[in-house]
Structure formats: structure tokens, C-alpha cells
Amino acid sequence: MPPHHRPPPPVAPPAPLTRAAVAGRAALVVLGLGVLVAAAVFEGIRSNRWGVPDDLKAAAARVDRVPTTFGDWTSVEVPVDRKILERAESVGSLSREYRNPKTGSVVSVMVLCGRSGPIASHTPDICYAGLGYKMNGVEQKKTVGAASYWSARFDKGDADPGIEVNWAWGADGTWVAASTPRLDFAGHGILYKIYATRALRPTAATRTAETDPVHDFLTEFLPVLRTALDPA
């Protein structure tokens, strides 16, 4: 005879949730939705999804006030690589080559303006990597009066003398070589960034006691730049 199978014991229905448990679950759902909405709003603001706010438009427009000539320096406009602007999420920018006919110095300048997060995030080792450059050595901090900036050399290989890239960030007229720019400028919604570059000659790539034309340029240019970007 087949073995006798007993039916499984009945399963007790789950205990009804208490009011506290229901309220707790509802609170978690609301909290989760709140986090999602906040993240969406933050991303929308960061990416200017709903348009560029007026304060950022005004700050970006001030970049156009930077003079094309000052002292012994004259300049010509230089097309800027769109990749750099896109990576930095720049709203306003200028790109010029300044020349000093008395000294023969040539310095390329780019100024970017945008929201502090994206502008602070992209350092030259990221921006110039897309153009085929790699940093040669480590960056050095230099000063011009109350301002400070980073300086480093980049090249595309052993046979390339490379370029010297100098950069800093500014939010209130003072330019800073920030070690942690995202944290240092976290309290600022809008940020500027400056690049000043020069081409290196083969003999200059290894010389340590050469004249620094970028330092001389920034000594004159930064006060002019501060005046142009002043919202007053």
C-alpha cells in the first residue's frame, strides 16, 4: 500500500501591520522619493537643464570685458577646442594669444566661467589629456602678489619640448592654486578658471634658471582681469 501522506499544516496568515509599521514604511517611501527628486533637481541645476540662471549669465558676460590690449601686450582671438569647454561645462569663455613686442614673449590665455562644481573638477591633466598631452613631472605652486597658481609642463612624448601650463581658480577676484578646488569653492555657485600657457623651446625644456614670461605676464594681467570680472 502506498505510504500515507499527511497534508501540511496550515500556514498562519501574517500578522497585520501595526500603525507604527505602516507609518514607518510610508516614511521610507516618501524619503526615497524625496532623495530622487532632490537628485533630479540638483542635476537639472548643475547642467542648466532649465536654462542658464541670470547670475551665471551676468558672470559669464563679464569675461567679454577683459581687454584685448594692456600695457605692452596685444592679443588675437584663438579658437578654443570645444572638448575643453564641454568637459568644463563652461558658460562663458575667452581664448587669446597675447604678445609683447618689446620682449618677444607669447602667452596663450583661456578664461572659463561656469558653475563651481564642473569648473573646479577639471584640472589640466584631464583637459589636456584629450589633446594628447601628459604631465611631465609634478605641478609647482607659484605666486604673484596675493594670487597663487599651479604650473606644470606637458608634452606628447620624448621628442616634444612640450608646453608649460599655468592655472588657477577664482570666485571673488583672488586667484588661488587650490589643492582641493571642489571643497575650497564649495560655498560658491559660480567659479572662474584661468589657463596661461606657453610653448617650450627644446633648450628651455631642461633649463631651470630661464626667464619666466608667464609670471611677468600674470603680474600685469591679473589686476586687469580682476577689474574686468568685478561685478560692481
CA 143/CA 132 separation, integer angstroms = 28
Rounded mean pLDDT, 173-187: 93
**132 & 66 share domain:** yes
**64 & 157 share domain:** yes
**40 & 69 share domain:** no
**149 & 125 share domain:** yes
Q: Is residue 8 part of a domain?
A: no
pLDDT of residue 26: 58
Q: Is residue 138 part of a domain?
A: yes
**61 & 119 share domain:** yes
Please say which residue of 30, 51, 72 terminates a domain: 51
Contact 152, 135 (CB under 8 A): yes
**28 & 122 share domain:** no
Q: Which pLDDT tens digit goes with each residue over 28-37? A: 655 554 444 3
Does residue 201 have a pLDDT over 70? yes
Mean per-residue pLDDT over the chain, rounded: 82
DSSP-derived secondary structure for 91-150 = SEEEEEEEEETTTTEEEEEEEEEEEHHHHHH--HHHHGGGGT-EEEEEEEEEEETTEEEE
Q: Is residue 10 part of a domain?
A: no
Question: Is 1 exposed, middle or buried (CB count within 10 Å of its CB: 0-12, 13-18, 19+)?
Answer: exposed
**29 & 85 share domain:** no
**46 & 87 share domain:** no
**157 & 219 share domain:** yes
Q: Is residue 77 part of a domain?
A: yes
> Residue 232 is which amino acid?
A
pLDDT of residue 217: 97
- pLDDT > 90 in the chain, percent: 56
pLDDT of residue 21: 61
Q: Is residue 2 part of a domain?
A: no
Q: Is residue 151 part of a domain?
A: yes
**29 & 90 share domain:** no
Please tell me the least confidently modeled range out of 60-64, 170-174, 177-181. 170-174
**30 & 79 share domain:** no
CA 155/CA 52 separation, integer angstroms = 36
Chain-centre distance for alpha carbon 180: 11
Instruction: Return the C-alpha cell found at 128.
Output: 589636456
Domains held by the chain: number = 2
**152 & 81 share domain:** yes
Domain limits at 125? 54-229
Does residue 207 have a pLDDT over 50? no
Element holding 196 (H helix, E strand):
strand 190-199
Query: Which pLDDT band holds residue 12 (cuts at 50, 70, 90)?
Result: low
Q: Is residue 26 part of a domain?
A: yes
Instruction: Return the C-alpha cell found at 196.
Output: 596661461
Other C-beta atoms closer than 10 Å to the C-beta of 205 total 15
